[in-house]
Amino acid sequence: MEKQFLTDAAERYYHNEMTPEERVYFEKLRNDNPEADQIVVEHLFFLEQLDRLSRIQKLKQVMNTVEDKLEVEGAIQLKNNKFKAKVIHIWKRYKRTISVAAAAAVVVSVFTASGVSIFSQNKKAALTPLVDRKLNQMEHKLNQMENKLKDVATPPATPFEANFRATGFLLNRNGYIITNAHVANLARNLIVENAKGVQFTAESIYSNALTDIAILKITDSNFKRTSPLPYTFREEDADLAEQIFTLGYPREEIVYNQGYLSALSGYYGDTTSYQIGISVNPGNSGGPVLNKNGEVIGVITSKETNADGVVFAIKAESIYQAVKEIKEREQDTIKIVNDNSLKGHDRVQQIKSLSNFVFKVKGN
């Protein structure tokens, strides 16, 4: 009985239900009686565990409700959807002749079909994403407007405090920049910085987690059209063993590196990327991979941690795909000019001309 009294008291103590006098008395009791104190301490610990379980269970309930809602909206994938991985797997196996764009279309359509069949009783579910996207476009326009206002109103004094750095490069002379989706998605605010150290505000207008391509647009009013791009983008697969090189910002200073094309597929047989042998470091993400003719063949994305010099680059085809998707969404039309002025020059000349088009991407 004494024990029950103690645990009851401990419970009231834990929940702050004691009067001040009771509290004083209770604390004195614990002080004078180590055995009682032991029981109380144990019970308090136990209550804390129970409470924690309660808090987390409640959180999980709310999260499950949220997930259900987002799933119906199509904002997140069906929980039991093992389709995607399978489709990609099959696609990887029978890849050879299928172009990335076509393959992506297969993935998308199978996806849509599965989504529709599962939700056929719920028409809203299949339609909502479109609406969502339109909303995004509107939000996007609002953001742009706000950014323009910002340009007028803010004195350019405060330096930008970035918490990560990566690389990006121009897609055309009007200030569209290619980088990785995993870069763009990390940031709320983005800036890009050219080789001369001039910073421009930018925003992500496209980001595809699957291909890992993102396209940023420089929104800064101080940005002037650059001279024509010296490089072009190669839509077809590059050749095995081709010599390649990259420029990027693993440091605050631009860094050059060269290597070779190791395999025509990437991580775990992924046909949308290449494996290349080159030395890169954190910060190189989003950098261009070029061949000796000055054609961009890919975009650096990741490396294998446990192996040296095993690096993956997204094929340039995905860039064309991104441009096409942006156009289809009627969001923007981005012109890619194919006029190469690097071909035939030696590497030093090539890099001199290139480095003006490779940017630091920073964000916070």
Partner 1 sequence: MKKNLGYFSSLTVLTDRQVDNFNDERALLKGLASHDPHAIELIYRQNYGVIEGFIIKNNGFAEDARDVFQEAMVILFEKAQSDSFELNCLIKTYLFSVSRRIWLKRVQKNKKTYLPEMDILEETIPVEEDLETHLKRNEDLDLMEAAMNKIGEPCKSLLEAFYLQKKSMPEIADQFGYTNADNAKTQKYKCLNRLKKIFFSQYKTEE
List the one residue from 120, 185, 222, 243 that touches partner 1 (CB under 8 A).
185
The region of 104-112, 164-172, 232-240, 324-332 touching partner 1 under the rule CB under 8 A is 164-172
Q: Which residues contact 280 (CB under 8 A, 6 or more apart)?
A: 246, 248, 250, 257, 287, 300, 303, 311
List the one residue from 51, 236, 239, 252 that touches partner 1 (CB under 8 A).
51
Phi, psi of 245 (to 5 degrees): -150, 165
List the one residue from 164, 223, 256, 320 that touches partner 1 (CB under 8 A).
164
Q: Which of residues 186-225 bind partner 1 (CB under 8 A)?
A: 186-188, 209-210, 212
For position 62 contacting partner 1 by CB under 8 A, the verdict is yes
For position 16 contacting partner 1 by CB under 8 A, the verdict is no
Closer residue to partner 1 (CB): 158 or 333: 158
Kindly state the DSSP code that residue 310 receives in the 8-state scheme: E
Closer residue to partner 1 (CB): 101 or 107: 107
Q: Which residues contact 169 (CB under 8 A, 6 or more apart)?
A: 177, 178, 179, 247, 286, 287, 288, 296, 357, 358, 359
Long-range pairs, 18-23, Cβ under 8 A, ≥24: none
Q: Which of residues 135-154 bind partner 1 (CB under 8 A)?
A: 146, 149-150, 152-154
Residue 53 CB, nearest approach to partner 1 (Å):
5
**10 Å Cβ neighbour count for 69?**
11
List the one residue from 33, 46, 135, 222 that touches partner 1 (CB under 8 A).
46
Kindly state the DSSP code that residue 356 receives in the 8-state scheme: G
280 contacts 250 by C-beta, under 8 angstroms: yes
List the one residue from 157, 306, 328, 330 that touches partner 1 (CB under 8 A).
306
Residue 35 CB, nearest approach to partner 1 (Å):
16
For position 69 contacting partner 1 by CB under 8 A, the verdict is yes
Q: Which of residues 224-263 bind partner 1 (CB under 8 A)?
A: none
Closer residue to partner 1 (CB): 166 or 229: 166
Q: In the chain, what's the furthest Cα-to-Cα distance?
A: 94
Residue 49 CB, nearest approach to partner 1 (Å):
5
Kindly state the DSSP code that residue 228 receives in the 8-state scheme: P
Residue 11 CB, nearest approach to partner 1 (Å):
9
Categorise residue 339: left if φ over 0, alpha if ψ from -120 to 50, beta otherwise: beta
Closer residue to partner 1 (CB): 107 or 126: 107
For residue 46, what are its two tokens?
């136990």
Closer residue to partner 1 (CB): 109 or 281: 281
Angle at 222 between CA 217 and CA 226, to 5 degrees: 65
Residue 209 CB, nearest approach to partner 1 (Å):
3
Encode burial over 17-29: b for 16+ CB neighbours within 10 A, e otherwise: ebeeeeeeebeee
Residue 152 CB, nearest approach to partner 1 (Å):
7
For position 276 contacting partner 1 by CB under 8 A, the verdict is no
Q: How many residues bind partner 1 (CB under 8 A)?
A: 75
Residue 78 CB, nearest approach to partner 1 (Å):
6
**10 Å Cβ neighbour count for 311?**
27
Strand partners, 263: 275
Nearest of 323, 131, 343 to residue 231 by alpha carbon: 343
For position 130 contacting partner 1 by CB under 8 A, the verdict is no
List the one residue from 204, 219, 285, 291 that touches partner 1 (CB under 8 A).
285
